[in-house]
Structure 1
Amino acid sequence: MGYPEDALAPDEELILHTHPHWKMLFWPIVTLIVVTAVAGFLGGLVWRTADESMRSILLLVVLVVWLLILAWRSIAPIVTWKSTHFIVTDRRVLVREGVMTHTGLDIPMSRISSVQFRHGLVDRMFGTGELIIGSSSEEPLEYSDIPDVEQVHALLYHQVFEAAPRYGGF
């Protein structure tokens, strides 16, 4: 069994498992490309212009700075994206985040009082948006960069309001 199945109860059915939309990786990937190009240019410049005694030290400095920027602005966001899970089952909504420190939130379907979504022009172009889940006792929970947010909204609405048992003939 894979990750989300391990978090489920024995008779719980997995309906949706997704990571945030890849849109959140746009700037980290742009940073990767730009920083690599700049490091390559600086490495070539150092190789051609520095004397032999300073060349190794300067190339090492360029390499270390490149690795630090890469780890901070590219690798960390990619790992964060990969370790963030949005899961919908027939009983609850689960959100799991983190690599070193794990955080999790479970919202039982019976506690959800409203489901909304919001997406602007750019989000609509990318097919993503923000999902807002209102629970009966807390402030609404907002989840950004949910892929296919309209379908997730409809799915969650159906799970909460249409599939729920009706009482008293209503």
Structure 2
Amino acid sequence: MPYPDDLLVEGERVVLHTHPHGKMLAGPVLVLLLVVAVCGFLAAVVREQTWAPVAWIALAAVGTALVVRLTLLPVIRWRTTHFVVTTRRVLVREGVLSRTGIDIPMSRINSVQFRHTVLERVLGCGTLVIESASDEPLEFTDVPRVEKVHALLYQEVADDT
């Protein structure tokens, strides 16, 4: 059973399943390009030296460590972050090895708001604010198509009452 279907109870169905907006991957991709460019340049600079093979191995090790830490891990974090709206609740799950999650029943949601900057409007994302009956408002950043998600969530809350 695919995720998040294995989290559903009887009679519940997924209305929306999304990951954070791809804009959060812009930095990691730029880091990848920068690391490759710098390592390639430095490898070319030392190619005439007698110790070039050692330098290339060191460059490869440092470059790989930087790419793993600054590119691969954020991509994995993005891919394993789920924002799910079902007919009964809102679920958010994050993490690979240690997971965190929150479930908000539709019946507990008091209000749903969204906001986005000019850049976020151009990119088609924003922040979704859900106010529930017992907690302080929860903010979910980088939600793709935030206005549609807001309208969908509002509809589900209205249908639940």
Taking structure 2 as the reference length, the TM-score comes to 0.97
Larger Rg: 1
In structure 2, what residue type is equivalent to 1:164?
Answer: D
1:17 alignment partner in structure 2: 17
Q: What are structure 2's unaligned runs of at least 5 residues?
A: none
Over 6 Å off, 4+ runs: none
Q: Structure 1, residues 97-146: CA drift from partner, whole Å, max 9, x if none? A: 00010111100001111100010011000000000000111110000000
How far apart are the structure 1 equivalents of 2:68 and 2:103?
Answer: 31
Gaps of 5+ in 1: 166-170
Matched, 1:97 2:74: no
TM-superposed CA distance for 1:67, in Å, is 0.8
Q: Distance in 2 between matches of 1:79 and 1:122?
A: 25
Give the letter for the 1:17 counterpart.
H
Measured in 2, the distance between the counterparts of 1:130 and 1:7 equals 25
For the 8 Å contact 2:84–2:92, the answer to whether it is kept is yes
Q: Secondary structure at the match of 2:47?
A: helix
Superposed CA RMSD in Å reads 0.9
- Contact 2:16 2:85 survives alignment (8 Å): yes
SS of the residue aligned with 1:99?
coil
Q: 1:71: Cα distance to partner?
A: 1.0
Cα deviation for residue 164 of structure 1 reads 2.9
Q: Number of residues paired by the alignment? A: 161
Question: For 1:60, which of 57, 61, 72 is the aligned residue?
Answer: 57
1: CA distance, partners of 2:131 / 2:122: 26
Distance in 1 between residues matched to 2:98 and 2:3, nearest whole Å: 16
- 2:138 pairs, out of 134, 138, 141, with 141
1:79-108 per-position Cα deviation (integer Å, ceiling 9, x unaligned): 000000000000000000000101111000
* TM-score, normalised via structure 1 length: 0.92
Q: Counterpart of 2:159 in structure 1: which amino acid? A: A
Pairing 1:152–2:149 present: yes
1:41: which partner in 2?
41
Q: Distance in 1 between matches of 2:78 and 2:34?
A: 21
Q: Percent identity?
A: 48
In 2: Cα distance, 1:39 partner to 1:122 partner: 32
1:100 counterpart SS class: coil
